[in-house]
Structures are given as C-alpha cells and as structure tokens.
Amino acid sequence: GAGVSQSPSNKVTEKGKDVELRCDPISGHTALYWYRQSLGQGLEFLIYFQGNSAPDKSGLPSDRFSAERTGGSVSTLTIQRTQQEDSAVYLCASSLVRPLGETQYFGPGTRLLVL
Amino acid sequence: DAKTTQPPSMDCAEGRAANLPCNHSTISGNEYVYWYRQIHSQGPQYIIHGLKNNETNEMASLIITEDRKSSTLILPHATLRDTAVYYCIVRVATGANSKLTFGKGITLSVRP
C-alpha cells in the first residue's frame, strides 16, 4: 500500500523567501509528526498533530515556523522568511493511535537548501 | 523517555548475523523498545518493537533481557543493503508525548 509521501523532494530557495512543505500521511493514520534533520545530526521533533489539532508544538524553533492539517489528512509546514540555518531535511511521519504499540512510518523527506 | 546507549559503530560480514546491542537501564514498565534504521539520504524505517517478550518479523528479531535493561536487534543474514544507522528508542507508546527522540544510533557497516 501507499506509504507517507512528501513534496517537493528537494527545494532550493533564497534567504528571506517563504516555503511550504507538504506531507500526505498513510490513509487512516490520525497522528502526524514533523521532524527535521540537519546535516550529520539526529532527528529533531517539530510538531505533532492528532486529527486537525496540534497538542504538541513544542519543537517549532521560532514563530517563523507554522503547520496546519486539514481534513485530518494532508499537512503543510510553512517556513516564513527562511534563514540559512533552516537548511535541513524535513521529515514527516504518521501513525495510528492505539492504546498500545503505536508505530510511526516516515516519508522520504524534503531536502531544503536556503541560499 | 528513557535514555538509551548504543556503541557508535560496528561491522559484520555479508551473510552473517548482525547483533546490535542497546542499553536502557532506566526503562520503566510502560515503555517499549523500538528500533528504526536510516539508510543514507532516506527517511527512517521502522524495524521492530517490543515490550518484554522477544519479537520476530520479516526483517529482524528483538531480544529483550528479562530485567528489560538491555536488548539486542538481530539481523539474521546481513546484506550490503543493511548498511545504515540503527536507532534504539525507548518510549511510551501513545498519547500526546509520542514523539520519537533519536540519539546518535549505531552505524552498521556490512562488508562483502
């Protein structure tokens, strides 16, 4: 079956521009997560959605970062006024929410380069 | 979530079993052991998870010690495509705090 998909796969932008990154979770998965991974670093949690609401936004690094999810499915991560330090791979994951044994499945990521 | 400790790297010969250790001495009763791997330039891939019983699937086996303070991921017949960074994660399974916290992982190199 279809896994998590993300678009674009690569994005090059100029400092100061806004970018939108898209995530299509696995059908039926109500939980959705955004992470980012800078070059040579581990994964850094950004935000968690349960349905359309975001009970945990604690990982968003600044108010330039925002995310929304509509219809309990597709999510968009927006970075305004991009900075060079925003360059990273942005990963999306989705999961079912079950009482025990929730497993997150990741997409291939969007590689963002801010010049 | 409980902290995990993994050696930084290991290697094994193609076709042999790869045994990847993980220590999680502060694990609590409701925390699961999860393993993910990340092949270069790809997103993390789920491998297996368990609570206290040993688990096996088509990719690997997970052996958890009786006191749950350590575990071993076993790839029974490693191939070159198994070269990746493997992450051992201990976490509560669900709820608003279900985000994954990845450490540095262990880099497995499978040699021909």
Contact at CB, A55 and B96, closer than 8 angstroms: yes
How far is residue A53's CA from residue A97's CA, in Å, rounded to a whole number?
A: 14
User: Which residue's structure tokens are 């790839």?
Assistant: B75
DSSP designation for B1: -
Contact at CB, A91 and B93, closer than 8 angstroms: no
- Which residues of chain A are within 8 Å of residue B44 when distances are taken between CB atoms? 43, 91, 93, 106
Both structure tokens of A62: 């600044």
Please name the residue of chain B whose CA is at the shortest distance from the CA of residue A39.
B41
pLDDT at B72 > cutoff 90: yes
Q: How many other CB atoms are there within 10 angstroms of residue A60's CB atom?
A: 18
pLDDT at B50 > cutoff 80: yes
**What is the mean pLDDT of the segment spanning B93-103?**
70
Q: Which of A26, A53, A106 is the mutation pick for testing B, counting most B CBs within 10 A?
A: A106
Rounded to whole angstroms, what are the CA distances from A72 to A29, A59, A69, B1?
9, 21, 6, 27
Both structure tokens of A33: 């997560």
**CA-only gyration radius of chain A, Å:** 14
Residue-level pLDDT at A56? 85
CA angle A24, B106, A105 (to 5 degrees): 15
Residue-level pLDDT at A42? 81
